[in-house]
A and B are shown apart, each in its own frame.
Chain A
Amino acid sequence: MDLNSLVQSSIADTTGSLAPFAPELILCISIMGLLLIRLLPFGDRIDAGYLAAAAAAVALYFGGPWSSFVSPSAEPAELFGGMIVYDSFTVGIRALLLAFTILFVIFTKFSGMPGKEDATDFYCLILGAILGMCLMVSANHLLMVFLAVEMASVPSYVLAGVLRGNRLGSEAALKYSIYGAGAAGVMLYGISLLAGLTNTAHLPSIATQLSVIVPELSRPEQMVLMLATLMIMVGLAFKLSAVPFHFWCPDIFEGATAEIGAFLSIASKAAALALLVRVSLGVGVLGPDRITAADIPRPQIESSEESDDPNIAGRRTENSNATDVGLFAVADEVHSHAGDSSDPASSDSATTGLPLAPVRNFIGVLIAILATVTCTFGNLAAYGQTNIKRLFAYSTIAHAGYMMMPVPAALSLAAAHPESARDAVSAIVIYIAIYMFMNLSGFAVIAFLRNTLGTGEIADFAGLIRKAPMLVICFALIMFSLVGLPPLAGFVGKFALFASLADGYQLTGETHLIVLLVVGGINTAISLFYYLRVVKVMTIEPESELLSTHDTNVIGYVPLAFVVVTTVPIALWIVNWNQLAGWSSEAAQQLFG
């Protein structure tokens, strides 16, 4: 293969990849537009917020699951030579992120958080972070994982300190960035170890490589593999604010404004969770196209780099489009036993991924432990909080724990029961979607109260119900939804999540799944206490001094309307969550064979 054809093919691949990548491109263009528009004479008068919302809306229009523009085929595809994977999961989570961006911008408009001066910078950073998160969701290569995480993190560091002259905010930003840099370094180390061990950084190829080498690994090599997994997990755990990498979270949430709290707790967490799913399934499960590899005839092209292992035939994958041979040659090696291609039955036994079982088990137990500790610690630490933002910080930590729970279930189920594994991932998607509304309106209430009362101390909200009954009713609904009490939407999420654990346990008999289920259940009961305390202060206790100077309807009617509008879905979702369930299971559709 000469240079010319190589260039030709990579150009073809790149141009072919552009269409599904449109939402990200739109975000890029609008970031530049936002920055440049200030140079124009009338630029000052254009509101950056509306531009950002419009950009997100356009990106959503082109990137949503309904758009024929980006989903020409039902098959998952790898873009840009395998750097990015484009499948239903990408589309689903990306649509959630973009929808959240729109809601978030509207929220900031009501709360008036970025002043006119800062507006452009603020929304540029938001869009930049969202762009990074979109890449996190679709990352298919360890380098991309790292780049995307950094791309999402760096704007977040700035956002944490975006309020000038706010000492707490600056401190928070510094803490956040130092922590982030540390975690990123560790993660990068882990990535290089893993890449070194498997000779590739392309996730599906790592899986196929591992399935070959794991049975033959020597003890030190096993240690290296475990260490690499652990280190990568550190980076992900940092983004998820999982215990013990959560220390930044309460400080940032207290120091930064409530708006940033909402952004970090929802968008950042959703993307990190999606990335966790991607990485753990990418490493632990042979990709769906590989599972059917034996049945589908496809052109065989010699890899430029011959492997010594006779078991590894250099073989093209279906959707890497014969373009990236030189670039990611190793990436194309597909695990395929010599006799398998003619014998579907024996390939079936290969598809159950037996050699990968220890890897899956290790990752699954690791995540299960993380989830257990995170959830329990978050809930227990929230007890003592007196500041509502800190309380919410610990609440998001606990929720990260809950949201991680279906991942071990999906890992255990992936090989033998792909349908149930899909349900497990779709439980995560359901939870994210519902969590988005819960936390957004929760932080909205906090931000609006801060605007009028200038405080975030829970004690100052005492007796609020006598002044603003509607607001308190909404806030109480949000809090109970966060506990997961029916008939509120939070219950739907928790139910789906626990259901995946129960299903996983019954099908596989893995003890750590039942432990997770019990831990999740008990944590639900524990968490009631601190959420309820806030509601109790607002409803049962006598009015605080601070409030007595305020009129009724403390926060004004327009913000109240926003809170009500975002709370209505929480209260009524249970009436019909058919769409949500169907849509989320569609999103998880292509992750498993």
Chain B
Amino acid sequence: MSLIVFLPAFAALILAFFPKNTDANVFRYGTLAATLAVLVAAIVAFFFPGGLHFDASQAQLQNVELFSWISSEAFTIDYFMGIDGISFPLIVLTAGVSVLSMMAAWSITKQVKGFCILFLLLETGMLGVFLALDFFLFYIFWEVMLLPMYFLIGVWGGPRKEYAAIKFFLYTLFGSVLMLIAILMLYFSSDLNTLDEQTILSTHVVKTVIAGDGSLSAAEGAMESLRARGYTGTVGDKKVHTFNIMALAAMGQNGSGLFDTELLLGWKLQHWAFLLLFIGFAIKVPSVPVHTWLPDAHVEAPTPISMILAGILLKMGGYGILRICYPICPEAGYDFRWFVCTVGVISMVYGAFAALAQKDFKRLVAYSSVSHMGYVVLGLGVWSVGTSQGYNWEYWDMGIKGAMFQMIAHGVSSAGMFFMVGVVYDRVHHRNLEEFGGLYGKMPVYSGLAFAIFFAGLGLPGLCGFIGEVFVVLSVWNFSYLLAIISAAVVILTAGYILWALQRVYLGAEYKGPHEEALTPINSRELLVGSVIVFFAILFGIMPSLVLRYMDATIDHQAQTLTRVIQTIDENRAAAALDSSAESFDGMPTTTADQVNVRHPLNGIALTKPAPKMSAQNN
């Protein structure tokens, strides 16, 4: 699996040794071959039995790679990668979109060598983000993407490329710095001692071997080295910290109260961590009001990079929220449910209205991304909501699956939309919606493909955009009628701006802009890219189970677990409220819930938990 991640970087290294004046096609085909190799490797390795087989029926992590990386007194960092139902579809999407966008990169003629090298480094970063399960490693891959992206926009971009590139960089870096703060806070309050041995094994804190019947046991000497670090299995003075995302999630869910320390403003640590992480991811998604880098970056970036940006980079925000925010800080996610959902809905509405107002074809597509990614945030946010009918995890489950499907579908359709804009921009060198028209007559095949892709973006039933939106809207209905109605209404706005754009560009009697002579039918390379995208847009639209079957097990498992956690939290709160009201009734107001009997969320064992308190240190 590391092979898949580092294959592009390795290819970049090889390309770096070719002299500068080598034929540009060598670099292009070399890069294309590398991205294809990643795609083939991902498909062969994960779909077919043997080796790195991915078993969709299992909820757990699979194909884990775990090595000790840094083990000093202050830090323990592992090189920890693995796939499950959440990351697997995104990996395949990344590999696929990379191939397509590299095929679209033939239009790049300036400094092809540098472009190809940076492109491959970017792919390594993207794959790494989806596979890394150690928080430190995750952060590194997260940032590794920034540099290539900056240069790809800054060097090969449009007229305002420098402004757009630095804006992208600053926004993302700001978000990731907040994320780093949250990571450190979580790390230093984590304690492996709250996890029993079975959980240690299932979260892969130590190296494990899988027995024939599928059960996990620790690899030789692995448990011993963990004990040497102070692991006893019982909570003591010494905390054993970890960056393991899975283990952190287990700590966040087991009712140990590790992340409940009260910090500034009386908020618990997990509320702060959730907020910081959420801002970091929301910048990437991007959600209103931190979305402003996106239209600039998209408009200025060259076509293949726009495809990558919209098709993959935006998905990292959603992935981060799903993988990190909710599992580690479930209570905070529960408390912030209205906040998250509102952010999602505002993004949808704002993005749609902004798209309606655009004159620039690419900017319109960019704002449509803001709007579409709003569905993702909403679908994920709905997740942490209990309904009046009790705690039914299936509604939440549907929201997450809708969000995940929306990410995949948007990855296909938005990459396609940007490609379609790029094709016409390569010919006439402008994107002004007012100066198009009549393209259908001049480029019939291209226009046909474009119609299909834009309809997929619109969410027409039978195409890929529909499924995700319907899932999300249906699950929101159970949370809030108002939000559900608004989000359903956004579909009308979406239809409005997409149909209007199609009308202005492709229909009409004649072409109104400059360079009319350049409007030649698309060549076979463009046809190939376009038809592959259309093929998948239709395929996912009529057979959503193709995608859903890979994520079902993992997401069901996560939704069920977290539902129980939320339920416990609610019950505890009700009990505490009851206690305190009873006590204040007795006239003993202050010494409330210092010792609240809480139920262990996962197995229902009652355990006594001291109320969260700042570790008092008075000197």
Chain A contact residues, CB within 8 Å of chain B: 352-354, 356-357, 360-361, 412, 415-416, 419, 422-423, 426-427, 480, 485-487, 491, 495-496, 498-503, 505-509, 511, 514, 517-518, 521-522, 524-525, 528-529, 532, 536, 539-540, 574, 576-578, 581-582, 585
Interface residues of B in 329-358 (CB under 8 A from A): none
B143 within 8 Å of A by Cβ?
yes
Q: B8 → chain A, closest Cβ, in Å?
A: 15
Q: Which residues of A contact B69 (CB under 8 A)?
A: 576
How many Å from the CB of A325 to the closest CB on chain B? 33
Bound CA–CA A211/B150 (angstroms):
54
Q: Quick check: A585 and B74 within 8 Å, CB to CB? A: yes
DSSP class of B's interface residues: helix, strand, loop or mixed? helix
Partner of B72, one of A352, A356, A361, A585: A585
Q: Which residues of B contact A487 (CB under 8 A)?
A: 140, 143-144
- B445 interface residue per 8 A CB criterion: no
B619 touches A496 (CB 8 A): no
Query: Beyond A506-B185, A506-B615, A578-B72: 5 further Cβ-contacts under 8 Å?
Result: A357-B618, A485-B147, A487-B143, A506-B188, A525-B177
Q: Which residues of A contact B177 (CB under 8 A)?
A: 521-522, 524-525
Contact B174 A480 (CB under 8 A): no
Taking a contact as CB atoms under 8 Å apart, the answer to whether B188 and A502 are in contact is: yes
Give complex CA distance A443, B386 in Å: 59
What are 11 A-B residue pairs whose CB atoms fall within 8 Å in the complex? Answer: A427-B74, A495-B136, A495-B180, A503-B184, A506-B188, A509-B617, A525-B173, A532-B150, A539-B154, A540-B161, A578-B71
Asked, given contacts A498-B180, A502-B184, A524-B173, whether A485 binds B143 with beta carbons under 8 Å apart, the answer is yes
Residue-wise, chain B 585-619 has the 8 Å CB interface mask toward A (1 for contact) of 00000000000000000000000000000111111
Which residues from chain B contact A495 at a C-beta distance below 8 Å? 136, 180
Say yes or no: B70 contacts A577, CB within 8 Å.
Answer: yes
Stretch at the interface among B162-170, B247-255, B559-567: B162-170
List, in ascending order, chain A residues with CB within 8 A of B72's CB.
Answer: 578, 581-582, 585
Distance in angstroms between the alpha carbons of A502 and B170 in the assembled complex? 23
Q: Are the CB atoms of B70 and A536 closer together than 8 Å?
A: no
Q: Is B213 in contact with chain A by the CB < 8 A criterion? A: no
If the complex has contacts A419-B73, A585-B74, are A536 and B181 also in contact, measured as CB distance less than 8 A?
no
Given contacts A540-B155, A578-B71, contact A502 B181 (CB under 8 A): yes
Chain B residues near A517: list those with CB within 8 A.
181, 184
- Check if B75 sits within 8 Å of A499, measured CB to CB: yes
* Given known contacts A360-B619, A506-B188, A518 and B174 CB-to-CB distance under 8 angstroms: no
Among B166, B177, B618: residue with most chain A CB under 10 A: B177
B residues bordering A, Cβ < 8 Å? 69-75, 136, 139-140, 143-144, 146-147, 150-151, 154-155, 161-162, 166, 169-170, 173-174, 177-178, 180-181, 184-185, 187-189, 261, 263-264, 614-619
Instruction: Tell me the bound Cα distance from A495 to B137 in angstroms.
Output: 12
Total A-B pairs, Cβ < 8 A: 123
Residue of B nearest to A525 (CB): B174
- Interface hub of B140, B144, B184 (most chain A Cβ within 10 A): B184
Given contacts A539-B151, A581-B72, A585-B73, contact A509 B173 (CB under 8 A): no
A22 to chain B, nearest CB (A): 29
Asked if B74 and A581 sit within 8 Å, CB to CB, the answer is yes
**Neighbouring A residues of B154 by C-beta, 8 Å:** 536, 539-540
Task: Given A353-B619, A507-B615, A532-B169, verify A518-B74 contact (CB < 8 Å).
Answer: no
Contacts of B616 in A (CB 8 A): 509
A354 to B, closest residue via Cβ: B619
Bound CA–CA A505/B173 (angstroms) = 23
B73 touches A528 (CB 8 A): no
By a CB distance below 8 angstroms, the chain A residues around B263 are 514
A486 interface neighbour in B74, B140, B150, B178, Cβ under 8 Å: B140
Which residue of chain A is the closest to B144 with respect to CB atoms?
A: A487
Select B617's contact among A499, A507, A525, A576, beta carbons within 8 Å: A507
Q: How far is the CB of A171 from chain B (nearest CB, A)?
A: 35
Nearest 6 CB-CB pairings of A with B: A357-B619, A581-B72, A502-B184, A423-B74, A521-B177, A486-B140
Nearest CB in chain B: distance from A415 CB, A: 6
**Closest residue of A by beta carbon distance from B182:** A502
Q: Are B170 and A529 in contact (CB under 8 A)?
A: yes
Q: A485-B146, A525-B170, A529-B166 are in contact. Are A499 and B187 (CB under 8 A)?
A: yes
Q: Are A496 and B170 in contact (CB under 8 A)?
A: no
Known: A529-B166, A540-B154. A506 touches B74 (CB 8 A): no
Residues of the B chain whose Cβ atoms lie less than 8 Å from the Cβ of A582: 72-73
- Report B-chain residues with C-beta under 8 Å of the C-beta of A508: 615, 617
Complexed CA–CA distance, A186 and B177 (Å): 38
Cα separation A128 to B573 with both chains bound (whole Å): 68
Q: Which residue, of B147, B162, B170, B189, has the highest number of chain A Cβ atoms within 10 A? A: B147
Q: Find the B residue at minimum CB distance from A524.
A: B177
Nearest to B20 among chain A residues (CB) is A469
CB distance from A487 to the nearest CB of B (A): 5
Shortest Cβ distance from residue B282 to the other chain A in the assembled complex, whole angstroms: 16
Query: Could you tell me if A528 and B170 are in contact, using CB atoms closer than 8 angstroms?
Result: yes
Which residues of chain B are within 8 angstroms of A412 by Cβ–Cβ distance?
Answer: 617
Find the B residue at minimum CB distance from A506: B188
B188 and A423 form a contact (CB under 8 A) = no
Q: Is the CB of B615 within 8 A of A499?
A: no
Q: How far is the CA of A419 from the CA of B146 in the complex (A)?
A: 35
> How far, in Å, is A560 (CB) from chain B's closest CB?
16
Contact check, A539 vs B166: say whether CB atoms are below 8 A apart.
no
Given contacts A486-B144, A525-B177, A532-B169, contact A499 B184 (CB under 8 A): yes
